[in-house]
Structure 1
Amino acid sequence: MLKITSWYIVLLFFLIASCSRPLSEMTYMNGIDPKIYPNGPVPDDYEVGINDQLYIQVISDDPQNAVFLNLVPADRGGASTSDLELVTYIVDENGDIYFLLLGKIHVAGMTVKEIRDLLQVKVDKYLDNTAVFVKLVDRNITVLGEVDNPGQHKMVKNRLSIFEALGTAGDITDWGNYKEIMLVRETPEGKLVTNIDLLSPDLIDSPYYYILPNDVLYVKLDKKIRGTKNVAPFTGLMLSLSIITTALLVANFFVK
């Protein structure tokens, strides 16, 4: 009986080991040295495109002087996100916005800073002592695939690290492939598609470490993981334990 029990214990050990996912396959930037890293390559600032929404406010030392340049009075105070969406300039199919008094202005392909500087020059022709404030309102990213909360998510700042972006979607599920995260990004030249390896310690120096507005992340399914999305991660293990327990009881019965 002792030999039979020992044999099943060994079998149980290997079954548990086979059902476990190596920690190295779930550790972000595995093997990275704990030190201060110099700033890696930062992607160019987001370039405004068609259908983007811009909130533009002209501020003057006398708010009444700038009323004719604003969709919302400059002395109104802080506006909520929903308010901003109602008073934005939408970039049309030609890449233009129509700004009060200043007329049609082409902004597609420009960064928010470049648009602000351009408007400041134009406004200075009409008013002294002004400041132009420009904000990209619809800063969203889309995270799909093997994450807890797939869908479109708001960006709280101009760019996020890829880990912050995945965090907005609840992180990767037990079935996600950490080595194959597809990034789709709109560029002036067209759509850029690349794969990101979250386990690589070199990721911190990658030009894709930062995520920009309108980026799409797709976490692929790890085909090596057993089971399906509708089965709990440890179902296979529990089934194996049940089979082994039954086998032990049967063996014990015949030994007696």
Structure 2
Amino acid sequence: MILKKYFIYSVVGLAIASCTPRQEINYMQDIESVALDNSIKNSRSTLQPGDKLIITVTAKDMDVVKPFNQTYSSSATITQYSNPSSNNLPQQLPVSGPTYIVDTDGNITFPQIGTVSTKNEDVETMKAKLTNLISQYVKNPDVDLKLINFKVAVLGEVTRPGTYVIPDGSTTLLGALGLAGDLTVYGVRTNVLVVRNVDGKITKERIDLTSAQFINSPYYYLKQNDMIYVQPNANREKAARIDPNTGLYISVASVIASLVIGVLALTKN
């Protein structure tokens, strides 16, 4: 009867323990109670000094737009990532074209136009701005603009920590975590740190992924060079403090103890 009672208590305890982590792991548990409209205002990732842009101008008559395509051209690779659930490896896509680097004042020097400010502009608004400027000289120009060095770092308790280059220059916190293979079971989902450097000013915020409120945060849409750190939980920290050779020590001690017992038994006989 005593064994039966302990068995029942054990089963009940395991059932309770198994339910708790699943609740903690779910993201945005109260998403239905939160309005999503406010997140739109934070979706723009503005261009920053040091950004590298490949800008190509085309039109029906390519000879007309030649003066607007500078001769300096560079080549680079952009990593195209598959869905987080896919086992396919990231693919390196080569890109090349007229390249412009945003200077410390937030400007680029564009052929025939001169200095063009990128302040408070994202990829789409900058394309529209250049299209409007070139339209003063060329009928119906088409401007293609790629931001080829937009990157974020994902560190800590994720499956694939590292630095990720985002091909389209726009991603969310969940998107970056997805590229990194999601949090491990040891990651603290209620205290994810995002560190941001905009124009030399460093700011940070801690995000609770289990609450849908975080989609209204200015840190939900990531910006250039954002760093995400997922803190390990108490179990992981305890495991890290344990000597990795502990198992070996226990095995050796067990062997020595067995030999000592054997020797004592022989001596006694």
**TM-score, length-normalised on structure 2?**
0.68
**Identity between Structure 1 and Structure 2 (%):** 28
**1:198 equivalenced with 2:225 (yes/no):** no
In the TM superposition, what whole-angstrom CA distance separates every residue of 1:111-139 from its partner, at most 9, and x where no partner exists? 33443344334323433332333222222
Contact 1:109 1:188 in 2 (8 A): no
Q: Measure, in 2, the Cα distance between the counterparts of 1:164 and 1:181.
A: 14
In the TM superposition, what whole-angstrom CA distance separates every residue of 1:189-239 from its partner, at most 9, and x where no partner exists? 8222111101113334444333334322111112266742599xxxxxxxx
Contact 2:48 2:199 in 1 (8 A): no
- Partner residue, 2:139: 128
**1:170 equivalenced with 2:181 (yes/no):** yes
> 1:39 is matched by which residue type in structure 2?
D
Q: Measure, in 2, the Cα distance between the counterparts of 1:71 and 1:142.
A: 32
Shift in alpha-carbon separation, 1:129–1:44, aligned structure 2, 3 A: same
Which stretch of the first structure deviates more once superposed, 165-174 or 8-17?
8-17
- Partner residue, 2:64: 65
Please report how far the alpha carbon of residue 57 of structure 1 lies from its aligned counterpart in structure 2 after TM superposition. 1.4
Contact 1:177 1:221 in 2 (8 A): yes
Alignment of 1:139-178 (within 5 A): 139-178=150-189
Number of residue pairs matched?
221
Q: Measure, in 2, the Cα distance between the counterparts of 1:66 and 1:95.
A: 25
> 1:83 is matched by which residue type in structure 2?
V
Please report how far the alpha carbon of residue 26 of structure 1 lies from its aligned counterpart in structure 2 after TM superposition. 1.0
> 2:47 is matched by which residue type in structure 1?
V
> 1:60 is matched by which residue type in structure 2?
A
- Partner residue, 1:56: 55
In the TM superposition, what whole-angstrom CA distance separates every residue of 1:147-196 from its partner, at most 9, and x where no partner exists? 01011113254433322221100000111000001112233582221111
Which stretch of the first structure deviates more once superposed, 190-199 or 208-217?
208-217
Please report how far the alpha carbon of residue 96 of structure 1 lies from its aligned counterpart in structure 2 after TM superposition. 2.8
**1:112 equivalenced with 2:119 (yes/no):** no
Q: Measure, in 1, the Cα distance between the counterparts of 2:198 and 2:128.
A: 22
> 1:40 is matched by which residue type in structure 2?
N
> 2:46 is matched by which residue type in structure 1?
E
Alignment of 1:68-87 (within 5 A): 68-71=67-70, 81-84=93-96, 87=98
Q: Per the alignment, in what secondary structure is the counterpart of residue 82 of structure 1?
A: strand
- Partner residue, 2:39: 41
Which stretch of the first structure deviates more once superposed, 48-57 or 19-28?
19-28
User: Which structure 2 residue ranges, 5 or more long, are not aligned?
Assistant: 72-77, 79-91, 243-269
- Partner residue, 1:101: 112
Contact 1:50 1:108 in 2 (8 A): no
Contact 2:194 2:207 in 1 (8 A): yes
For the aligned residues, what is the CA RMSD?
A: 3.3
> 1:146 is matched by which residue type in structure 2?
E
- Partner residue, 1:187: 198
> 1:106 is matched by which residue type in structure 2?
S
Please report how far the alpha carbon of residue 17 of structure 1 lies from its aligned counterpart in structure 2 after TM superposition. 6.3
Shift in alpha-carbon separation, 1:96–1:161, aligned structure 2, 3 A: closer
Structure having the larger proportion of residues in helix? 2
Q: Measure, in 1, the Cα distance between the counterparts of 2:133 and 2:168.
A: 27
Please report how far the alpha carbon of residue 22 of structure 1 lies from its aligned counterpart in structure 2 after TM superposition. 2.7
Q: Measure, in 2, the Cα distance between the counterparts of 1:22 and 1:113.
A: 42
- Partner residue, 1:25: 24
User: Which structure 1 residue ranges, 5 or more long, are not aligned?
Assistant: 73-78, 232-256
